[in-house]
Amino acid sequence: MISNLSKHSRRNLLRISAATVGLLFVGSHAMAQDGSAFTFANWNSAPIVNDIYDEFLANYESSRGIDIDAQGNVQFSDYQTRFRVLLASGNPPDVMRLNDDFLREMADKQQLTDLTPLIEASDFNIDDYFQEVWNFTQLPSGHIGVVIGVSPRVVYYNKTAFEEAGLDLPPDTWTMEGWTWDDFLEAAKALTNEDRYGALFIHDTGSEQTFAVNNGGEGIFSEDGRDFTLANSPNVEAIQWLADLTLVHGVQPEWGEIQTPNVEYNMFASGELAMVSGTMGDVAQYSETVQDFEWGIAPFPGNVNQVQEGSMVIFVVPEAADQKDAAWEFLHALSSEEGGSAFAEKNVFVPVNRAAAEKLDPSLSILAEAAAHQNSVNSTIATAEAVALYRPLLELVYTGQMSAEEALGSVKEQIDSLLQEG
245-301 residue pLDDT tens:
999 999 999 999 999 989 999 999 999 999 999 999 899 889 999 999 999 999 999
C-alpha to C-alpha distance for 388 and 268, rounded to whole angstroms: 29
pLDDT more than 90, % of the chain:
64
pLDDT at 217 over 70: yes
C-alpha to C-alpha distance for 242 and 303, rounded to whole angstroms: 13
> 146 pLDDT band (50/70/90 cuts)?
very high
pLDDT at 391 over 90: yes
Of 25, 40, 98, nearest to 333 by C-alpha is 40
List Cα–Cα distances, 147 to 144, 241, 259, 419, in angstroms.
Answer: 10, 33, 29, 25
Q: What are phi and psi of 369, to 5 degrees?
A: -65, -40
Cβ neighbors of 106 (< 8 A, separation 6 or more) are 87, 98, 112, 144, 316, 384
The CA-based angle 252-254-258, given to 5 degrees, is 95
C-alpha to C-alpha distance for 384 and 98, rounded to whole angstroms: 11
pLDDT at position 46, please? 81
> 11 pLDDT band (50/70/90 cuts)?
very low
Of 272, 317, 278, 281, nearest to 298 by C-alpha is 278
